[in-house]
Amino acid sequence: MRQIDLIKLAASLGACYLAAVIGSFFTTPEIPTWYATLVRPSFAPPDWVFGPVWTALYTMMGISAYLVWREGLADPKVKVAMAVFAFQLAANVSWSAAFFGLRSPLAGLAVIVLLWALIALNIQKFREVSRTAGLLLIPYILWVTFAMVLNFSIWRLNP
């Protein structure tokens, strides 16, 4: 692997982990306080599951972004794909701010619907550049689909 590729991989992973850290500023203080008071559906996973799942997802997202970026930003498809990636990453952080920061399952639901659409578009754009990059985002959209159902259920159970 060339040095520039290592830098691109580290930057791609770093961007995803930075999004995770920013999201955690909204999330972490609310889990033992506000979130603990919410009525949750029976299928809600225990709190400890979220950290490992999101760590794996952010890692796959970073590798996926690297696989696209290494094809070169001179390619218009790469530019579009990376722009969509940036928007979905911002929406990812925005969900934490809406759901936990605002303490609003309804705001979280609105953001997660947008996030899901951006991830679907991201998969499509990444697949146009790298099939593997697109496939690496499939677990992400599956988890966000589950999270959207969970978010909806929490909203309904906590009027």
Give pLDDT, residue 102: 98
Q: What angle is formed at CA 89 by the lines to CA 84 and CA 92, rounded to 5 degrees?
A: 130
**51, 60, 24, 149: CA torsion to nearest 10:** -70
Q: pTM of this prediction?
A: 0.96
Give pLDDT, residue 1: 80
Give pLDDT, residue 129: 98
How far is it, in rounded angstroms, from Cα 126 to Cα 142? 17
How far is it, in rounded angstroms, from Cα 118 to Cα 69? 18
Superfamily, domain 3-157: TspO/MBR protein (1.20.1260.100)
Give pLDDT, residue 61: 98
Using an 8 Å Cβ cutoff, are 139 and 60 in contact? yes
How far is it, in rounded angstroms, from Cα 18 to Cα 43? 29
Per-residue pLDDT of the chain (159 residues; tens, 9 = 90+): 899 999 999 999 999 999 999 999 999 999 999 999 999 999 999 999 999 999 999 999 999 999 999 999 999 999 999 999 999 999 999 999 999 999 999 999 999 999 999 999 999 999 999 999 999 999 999 999 999 999 999 999 998
